[in-house]
Amino acid sequence: MASLRLVVVFCLALSCATSPYSSVGTDTSLGLPPHGPILPLSVYHNPRHSATQGDIEIGAKNTEDCKTGQTTVSLILHIAEEADKCGYSLREKGGEEEHTVSSLPGGVSTTVFCLDPGVYELILTKTTASGWGTSLAEMRLEDGTIALRASLPAGTTEKAFPVNLLFSLPPAISQWHYSFTPQPSSRWMQQYASWEQAFPHAFPPTISLTQYFATSFSIYTLTAYSALRLGAVVYAGAVFYLNGVEVHRVHMPAGAVVGDTLATNSFNQPTWCFVSVSLLHGAVRTGENVLAVELHAHNRYEMVVSFDASALLLLDDSLMLRNGIGIVSTSTTGTTGTTGTTWIATPVFDDNPATVFTADTCAGVGLTWAFSNHFEVITQYTLRPTACPGNMPSAWVIEAANASQVWTLLQIKSDEHFAGAERSFSFYNTQPFSHYRLRVTACQFAVASASCPADALRLADLLFFSRLHAPYCHMPEFPPALLGETALLACPAFSTGLRSARCRADGFATAINDCSPLPPRHFLYPQTDFVFHLNEPVEPIEPAVEAWYYFVTITPALPAGLALSSTGVISGTPLKTAETTRFTLELRNGAGLTQTQITITVKWSWRAVLVKLGRFALAAVIVVVGVVIIRFLRSRSLQHRRTLERREESVSCVC
């Protein structure tokens, strides 16, 4: 294992901020750490015994004390009970040398390591098999992300948790090409070689509203990984590009982005923002990759350029319950409408079977994990029952959303039962979201007992994972699906329901269309008064409609020569004049109807008369010319016959 440099902080209550731009403070009242063993000469402790409640910031400044190429990692321990029986070891995966602490202090402590890049294992231990209970360990990286949050479960005295510390693109120490020009080439994210270069915290000041950054990095293998997490320090707006493909936006409007496009919002201070790109997305590749980021101002420019960025591969089957909070919501529908409550949910997302989440209701309970400035790709989840497996949900949906809170349906489950063991469920997904939710739709509770009351939802854990699942079934219209799962597709606009197709061994089954129309919302023609002219074709007039699966009727009947299609399009050529008449058009579908009115007037048109006369004149000319030609041809034919007759008579006389 590489040499370590440690800074250990003990306190009763500390919160660890994510800012990567400040270092651990110093304390003159130092003493020996209350735990061993004796560390190597290259390692030292800096305990803070008398700390008061507050914040501690751990970040990139600590890399000044690390060797070139090493990364700073903070191990944060939250020990609530039996601290003297708890311990840990940290070692590189497959390595033999490790850093071991067999007895921990109580409360919250932080240890800062300087580690060589690689995949490591944090091994949590306890002298008994009772587990860590509510205690837990966190590992925080240089870019502020929590790479690991774990607790030792009951029933074992030790458990290893893998964590990837091998940045494909390390923060703070990676060199970047940059440009502060108002509008570079449209292919700037691939044509940046001539730009100036600098390291983070060394970019020159600028008054540009938009800043452009790009660099390349290498990935040697994608085996054993599920996604590539990209991060960047953003003050207002940003657009991320990976190998020329846009993969994420922060505080930016939809549509084309140009040099003077302003961000829609800003943070209070420069903030790390992250997005994970699934390896099934197609943008990540082995060999050279290019990350490009453009930063946009909101209402003022940032003179001091705070930009930094990183790229880190996520280990396959990574538990993603970190860098966010768990939220519980309930909703009930009554005579006065739908009401609900929301609160922070710790027990259900803590990966600790010893803690139990309960709710005195079932249908309508939503369990949401909300990431903080992270957009992650979740493809698997685990439901862990309590000692009352009969109090687990029997039907639910998995949904995901971003800041707009428009939920996307990812999976539907029904008639599920738990016999006591935890169960895992997988679905196909390559899109990153900031919120994932399990919404309970039904419970089939077992018979109540003294320890398992009826009408109470009980759940030990809901765990979300990032796991690489290659799809089995493909069909042009539907998204891919895993074997045995159902691909879901939203119904057309202005309808409700779902279209679905189940993935079987022989491919997708016949799709099921369970769509129903919503009541018509909008039905309007471009104008309300129309004036047509006799014998002049009418360009098709199409109404603006917000409805699905509908037909349109009209009363009274349209003037002669005009027609109305079932979708409301008016077309044709008026054959008679008509006084101004008001028409009522009715749009109807299975869910309701709506009406609109228009007036139509058909007028006599001198132009139409002239056109008609011109047509008659042209026809007359054609007839006259035809008669002349016919008479001319007949005359020529008659002359030819007479000539032949004269020749015959001459021959006869000679004879």
| Nearest CA-CA partner of 319 in 424, 178, 474 | 424
654 pLDDT band, cuts 50/70/90, is low
What tokens were used for 331?
Answer: 């909703």
- Span 84-99, pLDDT tens digits: 999 999 999 888 778 9
Tell me which residue of 536, 538, 584 sits closest to 563, measured CA to CA: 538
What pLDDT is stored for residue 463 in this prediction?
A: 96
Q: For the chain, give the percent of residues with pLDDT over 90.
A: 64
CB 77 within 8 A of CB 108: yes
The pLDDT assigned to 456 comes to 80
Identity at 182, one-letter amino acid code:
P
Element containing residue 520 per DSSP (H, E): none
Residue-wise pLDDT tens digits, 185-225 = 989 999 999 999 999 999 999 988 999 999 999 999 999 99
Residue 500: is its pLDDT beyond 70? Answer: yes
Question: For residue 15, is pLDDT > 70?
Answer: no
Cβ density class 448-460: b for 16+ within 10 Å, e for less? eeeebeeebbbbb
DSSP 9-41: EEESSEEEE--SS------S-----SS--PPPT
Name the residue with higher pLDDT: 59 or 233.
233
Tokens of 23: 């270092």
Structure-model confidence comparison of residues 11 and 22, the more confident one = 11
The helix or strand, by DSSP H or E, that contains position 646, with its residue range, turns out to be helix 606-654
Q: Would you call 486 helix, strand, or coil by DSSP? A: strand
429, pLDDT greater than 60? yes
The answer on pLDDT for 117 being more than 80 is yes
Rounded distance, CA 371 to CA 326, Å?
A: 9
User: Cβ of 267: how many Cβ atoms within 10 Å?
Assistant: 17
Q: Are 239 and 208 in contact (CB under 8 A)?
A: no
Q: Find the radius of gyration of the CA atoms of the chain.
A: 38
* pLDDT range class, residue 169, cuts 50, 70, 90: very high
Q: Which of 613, 404, 377, 414 is nearest to 500 (CA)?
A: 414
Q: Is the pLDDT of residue 390 over 90?
A: no
Residue 645 clears pLDDT 90, i.e. is over it: no
Helix or strand (DSSP H, E) at 237: strand 237-242
Q: What is the reported pLDDT for 134?
A: 86
Q: What is the mean pLDDT of residues 8-12?
A: 37
- State mean pLDDT over 567-586: 96
Looking at residue 337, its pLDDT comes to 42
Mean pLDDT of 58-76: 69
Does the pLDDT value for residue 41 go beyond 70? no
**pLDDT digit string (tens) for 276-302?**
999 999 999 999 999 999 999 998 777
Task: Give the pLDDT confidence score for residue 238 in this predicted structure.
Answer: 97
pLDDT at 35 (0 to 100): 30
Provide mean pLDDT across the span 614-622: 81
Question: Is residue 605 over pLDDT 80?
Answer: no
What is the CA angle 382-387-388, rounded to 5?
90
Convert 389-426 to b/e letters by CB count within 10 Å (16 or more is b): bbbbbbbbbbbbbeeeeebeebbbbeeeebeeeeeeeb
CA-closest candidate to residue 488, choices 427, 433, 435, 434: 427
Give mean pLDDT, residues 116-128: 94
The residue among 436, 437, 430, 393 whose CA lies nearest residue 415 is 393
**How much is the pLDDT for 643?**
78
For residue 635, name the pLDDT band (cuts at 50, 70, 90). confident
pLDDT in tens, 326-381: 999 887 544 444 455 777 777 899 888 888 898 888 888 999 999 999 999 999 99
Top-confidence residue, 56 or 474: 474
Higher pLDDT, 75 or 608: 75
- Mean pLDDT is lowest, of 302-306, 315-319, 506-510, for 302-306
Residues contacting 31, CB < 8 A, separation 6+ = 47, 49
pLDDT tens-place string over residues 444-469: 876 667 778 777 888 999 999 999 99
